[in-house]
């Protein structure tokens, strides 16, 4: 089947506790050819994390040198502390090779990506209700009450960005949310604006007749 040559750049965000990591994992299981971008960060590695798998863990100096060399598609200081950034080279190369690529990044990073790559598709993963999000944050049991309250407040700030996204997917059931995103990808790939080459091909053939 005809496909646009460039891979799709899919940007997924959502407040912490919404389960976006789980949804992205389910999405990658459904779409074997989709690649995930591994971000660089200066935040300390957590015990279960592997360098080069979860993140590329960098020192502040290393990260700032990468900024200076223009190596990021976007970067942010999330929570006003640590740097997080999307290395540009991998995203560009995979897209050139026709592979779809997934970025799981914060709302400000997503807006930046949309600015520099207007053809990116942005998806906001939302909780069924705000009280449901609070329950999920408490349920994780990994943080104290003050940290949970802070994340909950941040979730309010992040949800302010929702209207700027292309799509919203409510994560009530993980598989359903992942399927919704698959459907969005398929619809985007069939959109007229992504099929200009196909349309040009038809015009060419018709002119030849
Ligand atoms: P965590 O420290 O829990 O892994 O991630 C904290 C936040 O940073 C999450 O909202 C995550 O989506 C975001 N994040 C991870 N990588 C990037 C990145 O490359 N760029 C931006 N802007 N945010 C990121």
pLDDT band at 155 (very low <50, low <70, confident <90, very high): very high
The rounded Å distance from CA 185 to ligand 1 centre is: 22
Place of tokens 């935040």: 43
CB count within 10 Å of CB 188 equals 18
Give residue 61's pLDDT: 96
1 falls in which pLDDT band (50, 70, 90)?
Answer: very low
pLDDT band at 4 (very low <50, low <70, confident <90, very high): low
- Top pLDDT among 22 and 6 is at 22
- Ligand 1 site-directed mutation target among 78, 140, 157, most atoms within 8 Å of CB: 78
- Cα 200 to ligand 1 centroid, rounded to whole Å: 39
Nearest CA to ligand 1 atom 20: 85
The pLDDT of 114-139, averaged and rounded, is 94
User: Would you say residue 2 has pLDDT above 70?
Assistant: no
Whether residue 23 contacts residue 177, with contact meaning beta carbons closer than 8 Å, is answered with yes
Ligand 1 pocket test, pick from 46, 71, 109 with the greatest ligand atom count within 8 Å of Cβ, gives 109
Q: How far is the CA of 60 from the centre of ligand 1 (A)?
A: 16
Q: Residue 173 gets which letter from DSSP?
A: S
pLDDT by residue (tens digit) across 72-111? 999 999 767 899 999 999 999 999 999 999 999 999 999 9
For residue 197, name the pLDDT band (cuts at 50, 70, 90): confident
Give me the helices (H) in the chain, please: 20-30, 60-68, 88-96, 107-116, 130-140, 145-159, 174-189, 196-208
Q: Which residues are near ligand 1 (CB < 6 Å)?
A: 39, 43, 74, 76, 78, 84-86, 104-106, 109
């Amino acid at each position: 089947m005809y496909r646009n040559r460039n891979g799709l750049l899919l940007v997924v965000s959502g407040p912490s506790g919404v389960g976006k990591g789980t949804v992205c994992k389910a999405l990658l299981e459904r779409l074997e050819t989709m690649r995930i971008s591994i971000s660089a960060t200066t935040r300390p590695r957590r015990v279960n994390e592997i360098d080069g798998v979860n993140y590329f863990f960098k020192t502040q100096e290393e990260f700032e040198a990468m900024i200076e060399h223009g190596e990021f598609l976007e970067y942010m200081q999330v929570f006003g502390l640590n740097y997080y950034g999307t290395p540009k080279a991998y995203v560009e190369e995979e897209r050139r090779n026709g592979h779809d690529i997934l970025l799981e990044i914060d709302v400000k990073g997503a807006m930046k990506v949309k600015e520099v790559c207007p053809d990116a598709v942005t998806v906001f993963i939302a909780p069924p209700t705000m009280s449901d999000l609070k329950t999920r944050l408490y349920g994780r049991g990994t943080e104290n009450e003050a940290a949970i309250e802070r994340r909950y407040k941040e979730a309010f700030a992040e949800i302010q960005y929702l209207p700027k996204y292309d799509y919203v997917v409510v994560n009530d059931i993980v598989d359903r949310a992942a399927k919704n995103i698959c459907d969005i990808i398929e619809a985007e790939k069939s959109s007229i604006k992504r099929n200009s080459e196909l349309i040009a091909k038809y015009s060419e053939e018709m002119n030849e007749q």
